[in-house]
Amino acid sequence: MYQFQMGIKRLLDIVLCLLILILAFPLFLLLALLVRLSSPGPIFFVQERVGWNGRPFHIIKFRTMTGKPAKSVTTWTKADEARITPVGGFLRDYGLDELPQVLNILKGDMSIVGPRPPLPAQVENWTEDQRKALEMRPGVLSLAAIEGRRSIPMEKRIELHAQYVRDWSLELDLIILWRALFVVLSKQGATEAVTESV
């Protein structure tokens, strides 16, 4: 039954992402243009993360900060990071910087809902219980996202990611999707702030 539900989850990921690509393609182009014109640098920010069963992959986001992409990152930036551009701030407020991750989902590296993918340096210090969060495809939306986004400590977020894997069901995914909509619209915290520049 579990494997059947996981198959449905993957099928829903593919169908919904294809719909998003078709319906939101003009928005995708507009945001890409705004990022390109707002400050020097690439349109996309690509960074190595740890995914399902500890496999590394490259996450894709719209660039939200000035400067050249960092080669190695071990920490998150603060919500008031001075290098965040005005356009980048808007994208983060409404989670639009995550939109290119539909490509990660279609590729199979991610899911719409799941634990957020950690940085390689973070996983090195994780406990066995925390590594439970690596037993499912990482997601764009997560249980931590509906519990306060960046307003809760990192340790608590990792705990919530592991809890999601332990308690997973299709019903839980639907609850997270529904509640995440209101969290994003109310701008409760910023999206995952990642150091993008040196």
Residue 181 in this model has a pLDDT that exceeds 60: yes
Residue 74 in this model has a pLDDT that exceeds 70: no
Mean pLDDT of 18-47: 95
Q: Are 46 and 146 in contact (CB under 8 A)?
A: no
Give the pLDDT confidence score for residue 79 in this predicted structure.
Answer: 52
pLDDT band at residue 77 using 50, 70 and 90 as cut-offs? low
Each residue's pLDDT tens digit, 84-143: 999 999 999 888 999 999 999 999 999 999 999 999 999 998 999 999 999 999 999 999
CA-to-CA distance for 197 and 26, rounded, in angstroms? Answer: 28
Residue 189 in this model has a pLDDT that exceeds 80: no
Average pLDDT, the chain: 87
Note the pTM of the prediction, 2 decimals.
Answer: 0.86
Residue 180 in this model has a pLDDT that exceeds 80: yes
Tokens of 4: 């059947």
Q: What percent of the chain has pLDDT over 90?
A: 68
Residue 145 in this model has a pLDDT that exceeds 50: yes
Residue 73 in this model has a pLDDT that exceeds 70: no
Mean pLDDT of 36-65: 95
Q: Are 66 and 109 in contact (CB under 8 A)?
A: no
Q: What percent of the chain has pLDDT over 70?
A: 83
Residue 140, SS3 per DSSP: strand
Would you tell me the crossing angle of helices 170-185 and 2-23 to the nearest 10 degrees?
Answer: 30
Residue 33 in this model has a pLDDT that exceeds 60: yes
Cβ atoms within 10 Å of 173's Cβ, excluding its own: 23
Cβ atoms within 10 Å of 81's Cβ, excluding its own: 19
Mean pLDDT of 6-34: 96
pLDDT band at residue 46 using 50, 70 and 90 as cut-offs? very high
Residue 1 in this model has a pLDDT that exceeds 90: no
Give the pLDDT confidence score for residue 82 in this predicted structure.
Answer: 76
